[in-house]
Amino acid sequence: MAVRVDFYLLAASQPTERLHFACRLAEKAYQQKQQLLLWCEDEATAHTVDELLWTFSDTSFIPHNLVGEGPNPPPAIQVGFGTQWPSHQRQTLINLTETIIPTQAPCKRLIELVLTEPAALERSRDYFRTYRQRGHELLTHDLRQGAKT
């Protein structure tokens, strides 16, 4: 199945800025009643994202939970990590890891958030080539000039 892959080139160099941007995207997804999975590198990052979703904005409310915790069916926004994908398919997945998402990822749209540091840019170029070889639809959003989402 072809997946739409959006690369957001951020005007940021710090991982915390990347997480805050992911929370803004999660807020938009929630407002648009979309199913979203924020996929993290490890448990510590997942807990950081979990906390940020409650605190990144004074005016925001984003009901969510960690994959495997909380109610059934799960809320529209989930935070996960590791190798076990959630049982419910998500419309969109935000990759917050430093590895490419496997082909069996449970989503129709994948978001890659790219920092300005050279290693992150090079890694995203490799991802772009791999996703293109898989036949996915690729889009790039360059936010380095101060554009807003």
pLDDT exceeds cutoff 70 at 24: yes
φ, ψ dihedrals at 58, nearest 5°: -70, -25
Give 145's Cβ-side CA count (13 Å radius): 2
Q: What is the DSSP letter of 104?
A: T
Tokens in use for 39?
């996929």
**Which residue range forms the structural domain that includes residue 65?**
4-142
Write out the two tokens for 4. Answer: 């739409």
User: Model-level pTM?
Assistant: 0.90
On whether residue 148 sits in a domain, the answer given is no
- pLDDT value, residue 89: 72
Give the domain CATH number at 20: 3.40.50.10110
- Number of structural domains (the chain) is 1
Per residue in 99-137, pLDDT tens?
898 766 678 899 999 998 899 999 999 999 999 999 999
Instruction: With respect to residue 121, please indicate whether it lies within any of the assigned structural domains.
Output: yes
Query: What pLDDT was estimated at residue 1?
Result: 64
> What value does the mean pLDDT take over residues 82-94?
80
Is residue 147 a part of any domain in this protein?
Answer: no
